[in-house]
Structure 1
Amino acid sequence: MTRFCIVIALERTAPRAAVELATAAARNGFDGVVLSDRFAPWTAAQGQAPFVWAVAAAAAQATAPAAAQATAPAGQATQLPAAGQAAQATAAPAEPLAVHPGVIGVSHRMHPAVVAQASATLADLYPGGHRLVLGAGELINEHLAGSYWPEPPQRIARMFEALEIIRKLFSGKEIRHSGEHFTLEQSRLWTLSGQRPAVLVATSGPVTARRAGAVADGILTESSDPAQVRLLGERMRAGAEAAGRDPASLQLVVRSHHALVRPTDEAGAAAALADAPNLAVRYPSAEVRTTRDFEQLLRATDPAELAPKVVVGDTPEPHVARIRQLLDAGADELELRFLGPDQLGYQQFFSGRLLPALADPAH
């Protein structure tokens, strides 16, 4: 069964508000929440950038009591209501809510050993409650260390080297590592639960997807094109087969962006742009150094640039259509990012209108 998570953007959400939204998500039919990893927001107007691991722990603690002792693994599949039957937003979830830190950049800011320790600690507190997704990083978050920012191929190589270190540490053994990008002296994780988090790779490229299939537990992609999602899944599984692994054991997680506004609503489009401006700029956002630099780029950006990357509509139909396309393309789980200020209202739209529509073949 399909699992649905909602993305809580920490670049625009204060820590306490994020925990409140996570608690609401547990009541509104979501299987999990995803909290973005940020050291800086894209714009000063967004105004937030709390430490994702602290917020994740607080959100997991806040949602655990509502989930029947919080002893079972989190993130079980959402049961779609029968056609015409609205989801009960006030009912407690049957399982603990999964709380996933978003894409974690393994670069200058966070050594992979520290990422492994943070993930292992969260897994010990809330077994089965999160996955670890590694990314190549964004300069706006990583420049603070003052180190050289390499080209994309080197950043991808560094990400896979970090993955190797983390997997070794998750084994519980004492390890050493001396590689091209990282050095690790005699080290081990002393706090390590029996259930290790799945480790995924964030990518939108088929070459990286194939490489991830050989060594990771799956991939996360933000591609808005179902054909591209299908291709990435095929390449991931091909990489797994070439490495002698079971392709069926890997996860294909897709992040989809949605704006609950009329296509002709210019004010709504502007609000969506303010919420996720990185989707609209034509310059590679991973190469932008500071919030101030990004704001300069944004001055020449038209909200219409969001159109190819965001599903727009104030009725369930366009959103249901995109979700079904992504599921048909092979997505195992969807991370839904709703753009705009009314995040609680978007959750209620999901539980009261999207879930029933997804269960209705007429939609």
Structure 2
Amino acid sequence: MVRIGYTMMTEQAGPRQLVDDVVRAEQAGFDFSVASDHYSPWLASQGHAPFVWSVLGAAAQATSRIPLMTYVTCPIRRYHPAVVAQQAATVQLLSEGRFRLGLGAGENLNEHVVGGGWPPVDVRHEMLDEAVQIIRELFAGGYVNFEGKHYQVNSAKLWDLPAEPPPIGIAVSGEQSCRLAGRLADLLIAVEPEQRLLDLFDRHGGSGKPRVGQLPVSYDPDRDTAIARAHDQFRWFGTGWKVNAELPGPAAFDAATQFVTKEDVAQGIPCGDDVDRFVEAVRAYTEAGFDEVALVQVGGDAQQPFFGWAEEKLLPALRSL
């Protein structure tokens, strides 16, 4: 049976609301939660970008059952991997073992803020490879020294370590990232229901490991309202990660998606309150081979009505998949 998650979308809500929302998600019966880690929203209409690690710490204290996860953190520019290891270990302690560390090669949108340019994808994957090595060594305890092509670590040690380190997930979008994830990750992360990615992951060592997908949805009793909201805040989603990783800011995403229509969005995102539409969208992931699917309810102001509908109608329907 597929596990259904809830996404704390930091680009569309402030920190207090995000924590309130994950509490409500736990009460509604969602199986797990994930949280995006952004310095900027994709589009200005989303309007938010709080620091996700503070949100996760508060969420760990405000909830008792629901697992937490970054979806995803980039440990190659904005953060040094030694700092990511400390952040993740702390959240694992606060949540009493409910945390998974999702990692990825990042987007220019978030990482350019520290300067130094945006490396090409081959270099980003080299950096991610080294970052995962550093994080795992620090999770193992003791002092760590590391001298790599991209990173240096001098006598680093995590003084507060959980009994079980957080499992590490790696986001994939092509063969390079699948090769990296198959070799280094405990689970795969993706945002498209592509069986090809899972096959590549298996081929490079990922066979038998969990795979987690993510699906934007726009619930509203009025379908036109749901479509309009999804178009306003989520039309960037269909541009693909080769584009999403390179654009530098919300203005660029606005320009890149200016010709995306409401009809285009409605084709790619289930909108309205027809449970069958939502179930079929999730089914695409389960048929591809995903074990878990995290839903993103589009629009910060639309969360509370979504929880009641999800608890009463959507989650029971999805349990049959």
Structure-2 change in CA distance of 1:174 and 1:28 (3 Å): same
Alignment of 1:287 onto 2:287: no
- Cα distance change of structure 1 residues 353 and 53 upon mapping to structure 2, 3 Å threshold: same
Distance of 1:58 and 1:184 partners within structure 2: 29
Q: Secondary structure at the match of 1:253?
A: strand
1:213 CA displacement = 1.3
Measured in 1, the distance between the counterparts of 2:199 and 2:258 equals 39
1:99 to 47, 54, 68: 68
Q: 1:333 aligns with which of 289, 292, 307?
A: 292
CA displacement at 1:100 relative to structure 2? 1.7
How far did 1:321 drift? Answer: 2.0
Alpha-carbon distance, 1:280 to partner: 4.1
Cα deviation for residue 272 of structure 1 reads 0.5
Q: Does 1:234 align with 2:199?
A: yes
In structure 2, the partner of 1:152 is 121
Map 1:155-194 onto structure 2 (within 5 A).
Answer: 155-194=124-163
Question: How many Å separate the matches in 1 of 2:244 and 2:123?
Answer: 17
Shifted more, 203-212 versus 1-10: the winner is 203-212
Map Cα deviations across residues 140-170 of structure 1 (whole Å, 9 max, x no partner): 1111111121112211221122111111111
Match of 1:349 among 301, 305, 309: 309
Q: Taking structure 1 as the reference length, what is the TM-score of the superposition?
A: 0.81
The answer to whether residue 25 in structure 2 is matched with residue 5 in structure 1 is no
1:55 is aligned to 55
In structure 1, the residue corresponding to 2:82 is in which secondary structure?
helix
Deviation at 1:261, TM superposition (A): 5.4
What whole-Å deviation, never above 9, does each CA across 1:303-323 have from its counterpart, x for those lacking one?
A: 334345323342111211232
CA distance in 2 between counterparts of 1:257 and 1:151 reads: 28
Contact 2:45 2:233 survives alignment (8 Å): no
- Is residue 280–residue 301 contact of structure 1 (8 Å, CA) maintained in 2? no
- Partner SS, residue 276 of structure 1: helix
After TM superposition, give the deviation of residue 137 of structure 1 in Å.
0.9
Aligned to 1:91: none
Structure 1 distance, partners of 2:306, 2:212, is: 21
Cα deviation digits, residues 203-242 of structure 1 (max 9, x gap): 121342233112210110001x4xx2x222222222117x
State the SS of the aligned residue for 2:197. helix
Quick one: structure 1 residues 8 and 188, their matched pair in 2 at CA, closer, same or farther if it must change by over 3 Å? Answer: same
Alpha-carbon shift at residue 281 of structure 1 (Å) = 4.5
**5+ residue gaps, structure 2:** none
Q: CA deviation at 1:355?
A: 2.3
8 A Cα contact 2:99 2:166, kept in partner = yes
- Give the partner amino acid of 2:46: Q
In the alignment, which of 270, 282, 301 is matched to residue 323 of structure 1?
282
Q: Which amino acid aligns with 2:153?
A: L
Q: For the residues of structure 2 that align with 1:254 and 1:294, how far apart are their CA atoms?
A: 23
- 2:188/2:212 contact within 8 Å kept: yes
What is the match of residue 34 of structure 1? Answer: 34
- What are the ranges of 5 or more consecutive residues in structure 1 without an aligned counterpart? 65-95, 242-246
- Kindly tell me: are residues 305 and 183 of structure 1, through their superposed partners in 2, closer, same or farther at Cα, counting changes over 3 Å? farther
Task: Identify which range, 270-279 or 298-307, moves more after superposition.
Answer: 298-307
Which deviations, in whole Å up to 9, do the C-alpha atoms of 1:43-98 show, x marking residues without a partner? 3332211110100110111112xxxxxxxxxxxxxxxxxxxxxxxxxxxxxxx111
Return the alpha-carbon distance in structure 2 between the equivalents of residues 327 and 300 of structure 1: 31
Q: Compare CA radii of gyration and give the structure with the larger one.
A: 1
Q: TM-score, normalised by structure 2?
A: 0.91
Q: What is the match of residue 269 of structure 1?
A: 227
Q: Structure 1 vs Structure 2: percent identity of aligned residues?
A: 32
Q: Is the 8 A contact 1:275 1:339 kept in 2?
A: yes
Change (3 A) 1:43 1:154: same
* Residues in 2 aligned to 1:330 and 1:268: alpha-carbon distance in whole angstroms: 28
| Larger CA deviation: 278-287 vs 36-45 | 278-287
- The structural deviation recorded for 1:3 is 2.0
Which residue is 1:312 aligned to?
271
Query: What is the alpha-carbon distance in structure 2 between the residues aligned to residue 360 and residue 212 of structure 1?
Result: 30
1:43 & 1:316 partners in 2: Cα distance?
A: 28
8 Å CA contact 2:2, 2:319 repeated in 1: no
CA contact (8 A) 1:169 1:188 kept: yes
Q: What's the Cα RMSD here?
A: 2.2
| Contact map agreement 2:226 2:272 (CA 8 A) in 1 | no
